[in-house]
Structures are given as C-alpha cells and as structure tokens.
C-alpha cells in the first residue's frame, strides 16, 4: 500500500452566480460569472480525508431551509448528484469512511455538509472557529450558524502545521481571519496547493489582486504572495477554489485529478 496520499479526487458540488468584483476587488463590478464549488478527496494510507464540504444539500429541495433569507439572493445551481454523500458513493465510499475533514474556512459554501461529519476531526484554524461564532457584523452574512452549530469534533489549529503525513495546513488570512490553505504532497512526489478562497480565481494570483469580499485586504494580498512563493519553492500546483476555466479543464471524480 502507498504510504501518505495516493490519489486526489475533485468532487463537484454545484455552481454559484457571483459578481466578479467579489473575487477581484473593484474589477468588473456588475459582471456576473459562474463559480464552481467542489470538495477535494485525498486518498490517504491512514484513511480518506476531505477538504471543504460545499453547499448545503437541503438547498436542492428547500432553499429557504438551507440558506434562510439569503436564499432569494443566492441561487446556486445544485443537483442531487452534487451532494457530497452521492459524490463519495460514486467512488465507493460513505461518510463514515472519512477519517478527517479540513475546512479552509467556515463560510456557507464550504460547510454545507458539515453536519454529517460528527464521527471524525474537523480541522480548522482557531481564529476562524472563534470568528465564525461571533463575526463582525459587516462580514457576518457568509457565516451561517445552521451550517456549523452541530456537535462536531473541531480540531483547532494555531497557524501552520502538519495534519497527516504529506498534508499540511498553511494559515492564509485575509478573506476571513482564520482562513487556511492545504498543501498536499503525493507519495509519487507531485505537490498541490488547495488555497481555498485565498485564491478563488487564477487571476487573483496572476494579477495580484486581493478579493473584494475580505475582512482584511492587505492580508488577502499578502496570502496570495505567500502561496505563490511556496508554490515555487515546493514545486506545487495551485488549484483555485472557484475558477470555472480551471475547473472545466481538470479531471473530476470519478476520475482522479492525480
Ligand atoms: Zn467560497
């Protein structure tokens, strides 16, 4: 058996309509783009690990139950197949097979299926966990308590750290106070950075533009530079979190990305 991370799968989780300036500060305001949502499945020798938990599957049938009053504003294109439970089944797994979940941050489009994972550690930065439960009002809307107020076993991180052989978290604040990215090195040596919403679009990286939706624009900018530097140093490919062009070109589950 391969030690560490053997394979990586991208589990598609629906599409959002979003203003480009939400991802790229002050760029193309009023221009709506399609943004994919996905989870990442890491097949690890200690058991499968998930990064991020997409959209609340209740939203397929009952958007108001899933997203409250905001259901009128946000209209995700979400099918029953986009449910992480269905995506796991497609590769022969169930929720209980998952040994660990890593959340890049606790916004609604990354915690939708969190309530199903009460059996395994949920790795999140302490600053993020703290902020999600008591966010500053001007950026509170993306934190939906019905997504994360569940009896799950949070494993709180204080900055960078190894979470399993071949898998590290890197603290990348800016979009949120305790945002983290995930560095994965496969057993065959190839490396990837899953930056979450530190780098939602490839353009954030290539044009060095912070997000519009931030708690701290300077930190967002610095996190982009930090990840770029690490990707060069470690020869790691950065996979942006919400970039349709990148997403369409990638191999997606049930095919492995790598
Ligand atoms: Zn997001």
Instruction: Read off φ and ψ for residue 257, nearest 5 degrees.
Output: -70, -40
Tell me the residue length of the chain. 258
What distance in Å separates the CA atoms of residue 255 and residue 258, rounded to the nearest whole number?
9
Tokens of 146: 């019905």
Span from the CA of 102 to the centroid of ligand 1 (angstroms):
14
The secondary structure of residue 53, as a DSSP letter, is -
Tokens of 1: 């058996």
CATH architecture of 5-249: 4-Layer Sandwich (3.60)
For the segment 135-169, what is each residue's pLDDT rounded down to a tens digit? 999 999 999 999 999 999 999 999 999 999 999 99
How confident is the model at residue 71, as a pLDDT? 83
Bridge partners (DSSP) of residue 11 are 39
Mean pLDDT on 116-140:
97
Span from the CA of 176 to the centroid of ligand 1 (angstroms):
11
How confident is the model at residue 1, as a pLDDT? 63
- Whether the CA torsion 85, 59, 9, 214 is positive or negative: it is negative
How confident is the model at residue 207, as a pLDDT? 95
224 half-sphere exposure, CB direction, 13 A CA radius: 25
Whether residue 2 is predicted with pLDDT greater than 80 in this model: the reply is no
Placement of tokens 């020869």 in the chain: 235
What distance in Å separates the CA atoms of residue 228 and residue 233, rounded to the nearest whole number?
9
Helix, strand or coil, per DSSP, at residue 224: helix
Span from the CA of 196 to the centroid of ligand 1 (angstroms):
7
What distance in Å separates the CA atoms of residue 102 and residue 225, rounded to the nearest whole number?
22
Span from the CA of 128 to the centroid of ligand 1 (angstroms):
14
For the segment 192-227, what is each residue's pLDDT rounded down to a tens digit? 999 999 999 999 999 999 999 999 999 999 999 999
CB distance 182 to 50 below 8 Å: no
- Reported as type and span, the H/E element at residue 236 is strand 236-238
Start-to-end CA span in the chain (Å) = 17
What distance in Å separates the CA atoms of residue 6 and residue 169, rounded to the nearest whole number?
18
Span from the CA of 47 to the centroid of ligand 1 (angstroms):
26
For the segment 5-24, what is each residue's pLDDT rounded down to a tens digit? 999 999 999 999 999 999 99
Tokens of 29: 């305001």
Span from the CA of 3 to the centroid of ligand 1 (angstroms):
31
Instruction: Read off φ and ψ for residue 96, nearest 5 degrees.
Output: -70, -15
Span from the CA of 107 to the centroid of ligand 1 (angstroms):
7
- Of 81, 1, 95, the C-alpha closest to 48 is 95
Angle, vertex CA 257, rays to CA 246 and CA 44, nearest 5: 135
Span from the CA of 2 to the centroid of ligand 1 (angstroms):
32
């Amino acid at each position: 058996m391969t030690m560490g991370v053997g394979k990586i799968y991208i589990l598609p989780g629906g599409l959002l309509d979003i203003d480009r300036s939400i991802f790229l500060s002050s760029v193309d305001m009023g221009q709506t783009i399609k943004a994919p949502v996905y989870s990442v499945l890491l097949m690890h020798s200690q058991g499968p690990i998930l990064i991020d938990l997409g959209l609340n599957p209740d939203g397929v049938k009952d958007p108001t139950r899933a997203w409250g009053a905001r259901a009128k504003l946000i209209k995700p294109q979400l099918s029953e197949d986009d449910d992480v439970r269905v995506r796991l089944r497609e590769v022969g797994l169930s929720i209980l097979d998952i040994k660990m979940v890593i959340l890049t941050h606790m916004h609604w489009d990354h915690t939708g299926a969190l309530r199903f994972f009460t059996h395994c550690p949920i790795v999140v930065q302490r600053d993020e966990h703290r902020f999600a439960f008591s966010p500053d009002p001007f950026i509170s809307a993306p934190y939906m308590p019905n997504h994360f107020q569940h009896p799950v076993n949070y494993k709180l991180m204080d900055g960078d750290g190894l979470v399993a052989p071949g898998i590290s978290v890197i603290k990348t604040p800016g979009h949120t106070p305790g945002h983290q990215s995930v560095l994965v090195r496969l057993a065959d040596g190839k490396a990837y950075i899953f930056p979450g919403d530190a780098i939602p679009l490839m353009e954030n990286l290539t044009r060095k533009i912070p997000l519009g939706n931030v708690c701290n624009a300077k930190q967002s900018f610095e996190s982009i530079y930090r990840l770029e530097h690490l990707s060069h140093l470690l020869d790691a490919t950065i996979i942006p979190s919400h970039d349709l062009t990148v997403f369409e070109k990638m191999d997606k589950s049930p095919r492995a990305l790598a």
